[in-house]
Chain A
Amino acid sequence: EFVLTQSPGTLSLSPGERATLSCRTSHSVISNCLAWYQQKPGQSPRLLIYGASSRATGIPDRFSGSGSGTDFTLTISRLEPEDFAVYYCQQYGTSPFAFGPGTKVDIK
Chain B
Amino acid sequence: QVQLQESGPGLVKPSETLSLTCTVSGDSITSYYWSWIRQPPGKGLEWIGYIYYSGSTNYNPSLKSRVTISIDTSKNQFSLKLTSVTAADTAVYYCARKYYDLSTGYYYFDRWGQGTLVTVSS
Chains A and B bind each other: yes
User: Is there a chain A Cβ closer than 8 Å to B103's Cβ?
Assistant: yes
How many residue-residue contacts, CB under 8 A, span A and B?
65
Known interface pairs A33-B101, A44-B115, A100-B44. Does A93 touch B109 (Cβ–Cβ under 8 Å)?
Answer: no
- Size bracket, chain A contacts: 20 to 34
- Size bracket, chain B contacts: 20 to 34
Known interface pairs A50-B101, A51-B101. Does A98 touch B106 (Cβ–Cβ under 8 Å)?
Answer: no
Residues of A within 8 A of B84 (CB): none
Q: Are B106 and A31 in contact (CB under 8 A)?
A: yes
Q: Are A51 and B109 in contact (CB under 8 A)?
A: no
Q: Are A92 and B106 in contact (CB under 8 A)?
A: yes
User: Is there a chain B Cβ closer than 8 Å to A60's Cβ?
Assistant: no
Q: Chain A residues in contact with chain B, CB under 8 A?
A: 1, 30-33, 35, 37, 43-47, 50-51, 54, 56, 88, 90, 92-93, 95-102
